[in-house]
Amino acid sequence: MTDVTWAEPGDLAAVAAHITRIVARPGPKRLAFTGGSTPPRVFALLAGKGLDWSEVTIALTDDRRVPDDHPASNFGKLHAALGDCGAAFERLEEGMDVAPFDLVWLGMGEDGHIASLFPHMQALIRPGPSVIATTPIPLPPEAPFDRLSLNKRALKATREIILVITGPSKKALVERVLAGSDAYPVSDILRGYGPPVTIYWSE
């Protein structure tokens, strides 16, 4: 079973410190970053650390199928924050095979979804670690878009995963999963077989 650890502290500064340690390792590194509202706050912390990103490739776990300059574009936010850092950026393309990562950073929705893998969705099944097209059912009103997402095999093709969550309701959901619930997309990450997971939780 998956080795799960709760980080202490679990705040965003600790998340930035974890990513910093990965980036500082010698040799090439591949990182997959989540979308949403939390990453830009961590990106701001990373931008001030003077890191050498020259051997780092950054991908996204998922994105909305919108232009880069759209407010809902995860790639747009990522590139605006770190586009000048010297890293290589790998775009998601439907059907592409995905090479293994050194770190996958996941967020989680109130419904237990990870990346753009929702409890109810339309999705094209593809073998192996790959990028799939998904459409959540129903479309969330705050982001009513089709998506591209790493599939579960791609999310697990990594040395480690960090799951970054905020608020008591998400903590309670994760605790239900760790107690035995398989009802959510995050359940397979936390309870199935896969890389170790460190959970960063803050209020």
Q: Quick check: pTM over 0.85?
A: yes
Q: Which two tokens stand for residue 112?
A: 């237990």
The predicted structure's pLDDT at residue 83? 87
> Quick one: pLDDT at residue 127?
87
pLDDT digits (tens, 9 = 90+) for 90-118: 999 999 999 999 999 999 999 999 999 99
Taking residues 139-146, what's their average pLDDT? 91
Residue 170's H or E segment, with its range, is: helix 168-178
Q: Topology of domain 4-202, per CATH?
A: Rossmann fold (3.40.50)
Please, how many CA atoms are within 13 Å of residue 107, restricted to the half-sphere of its CB?
22
**CA 89 – CA 12 distance, rounded (Å):** 23
With tokens 């579960």, the residue in question is 152
Check residue 192 and give its pLDDT: 84
DSSP lists the bridge partners of residue 122 as: 135
- Under the banding of pLDDT at 50, 70 and 90, the label for residue 47 is confident
In angstroms, the CA 58 to CA 102 distance is 10
Give pLDDT, residue 186. Answer: 97
Residue 176 has pLDDT above 80, yes or no: yes
Q: Is 138 helix (H, G, I), strand (E, B) or coil?
A: coil
pLDDT of residue 143: 87
Q: How far apart are CA 36 and CA 77, in angstroms?
A: 9
For 164-187, what is the mean pLDDT?
A: 96
Write down the domain spans for the chain: 4-202
Q: Are 129 and 59 in contact (CB under 8 A)?
A: no
| Cα–Cα distance measured from residue 132 to residue 10, given in angstroms and rounded to the nearest whole number | 31
Does the pLDDT value for residue 1 go beyond 80? no
